[in-house]
Structure 1
Amino acid sequence: MLSRIIYCTAVLLATIAVILLALFSPQPYRKNLTPFVALSFYIRQPQVTGPEARPVEPPPPAGAMIFHHTLTEGPENTSRVVGKAQGFIIPVESFAHSAFNIIYLTIHTNEYSGSISIQAKSLTYKEREVLSIVGGTGSFAFVRGLAVFAQTDEAIYHIKLHLKFSNGS
């Protein structure tokens, strides 16, 4: 009889401990508490100076466009550099909807550090493009959303990122 009382007491105490832990345990650490974030940057073409300086020409219609540009906070030459924009786009009709057409943004600010992958297979080469964000790394792990590119100048693009973080970030 005594062993039965000890067993019931142990089960009761274990049940109470599980309930109390479930009610009063600390929440897991989450670096980003907001599921939606809007960011705004500018993509600048590299400025070449000196005797070899020449205007940047658009790629030929049958060639690949590979680029490596600077990502800044503002459109001015003196704006702080916060990362880079890189990409590989094949504008040829047979590859126009290829999964290889991707733009990578690498961002390093006080608040965020990581990269964002933007799918560029639906480019229409207009002054304003709305493209899909298909993932990221670092602070942007598993992010989804939209990237709106608007050409403000011949050498400057304004990019607005509308990011949606997954529940696990």
Structure 2
Amino acid sequence: MILVSAEDPEFVKSLNPKLLGLKKEKLTHFRLYWHDIVDGHNPSAVTIVQPPSNSSQTKFGLIRMFDNALTQGPDPSSKLVGRAQGFYGSASQEDVSLLMAENFAFVQGKYNGSTITLMGRNSIFNKVRELSVIGGSGVFRFARGYALASTQSFNASKSDDAIVEYNIYVLHY
């Protein structure tokens, strides 16, 4: 029997971050607006799993996939800066709380082609919710941080369409 220890250079080794081009870590703040369009001719969020017919008011079991616009302002015609791509599912039987996994894929400026990955619990009727930045790509490799989400508008009675302000604080190199 062969055991591989953590000291085995064939398996794992420590690296100097400078070898990967990593310099001083920066803290960047983004304020973006997430447009979740469930209703209409061209929805950006689609239901992929309906909740069971005996589901509670929380729609427990609902899963939606989305490709939402990220804009500079709350107006849907504001400048597009990226796309939020991922899914959310109603994960609570007692309140309206979503499990969310999403990539914010930037399409403008020096962040074009880079992503920030968010994951967490989103209790949508709370004034402010916090999700974790769990990584990223491009400029945001090794990213970590948090995002604060606050609903700007939500049409719960008719369409489920929503506009959510995201304030993201991300540490990256």
TM-score normalized by the length of structure 1:
0.63
Contact 1:38 1:160 in 2 (8 A): yes
Contact 1:75 1:156 survives alignment (8 Å): yes
The partner residue of 1:163 within 129, 147, 170 is: 170
**If each structure's helix is expressed as a fraction of its own residues, which one has the higher value?**
1
Q: TM-score normalized by structure 2?
A: 0.62
Structure 1 vs Structure 2 CA RMSD: 3.4
1:150 matched to which residue of 2? Answer: 150
- For residues 36 and 27 of structure 2, the distance between their equivalents in structure 1, rounded to whole angstroms, comes to 29
For structure 1, the residue ranges without an aligned partner over 5 or more in a row are: 1-26, 95-99
Q: Which has the larger radius of gyration?
A: 1
What SS does the aligned partner of 2:140 have?
coil
Cα shift at 1:115 = 0.8
Alignment of 1:34-113 (within 5 A): 35-46=26-37, 60-93=59-92, 101-113=100-112
TM-aligned CA distance change 1:72 to 1:32, over 3 Å = farther
Any idea what the Cα deviations from partners look like across 1:93-145, whole Å, max 9, x if unmatched? 49xxxxx841211112212121111112x332323211110000011111100
CA contact (8 A) 1:59 1:65 kept: no
Cα distance change on mapping 1:33 and 1:103 into 2, 3 Å: same
| Correspondence for 1:21 | none
1:44-100 residue CA offsets vs partner (Å, 9 max, x unmatched): 1238656x99xx999832221322211111112321111111222232349xxxxx8
How much identity, in percent, do the aligned residues show? 22
Q: Secondary structure at the match of 1:90?
A: strand
Give the number of the structure whose residues are more often strand, by fraction.
2
Distance 1:31 1:75, change over 3 A: farther
8 Å CA contact 2:60–2:92 kept in 1: the answer is no
Distance 1:119 1:49, change over 3 A: closer
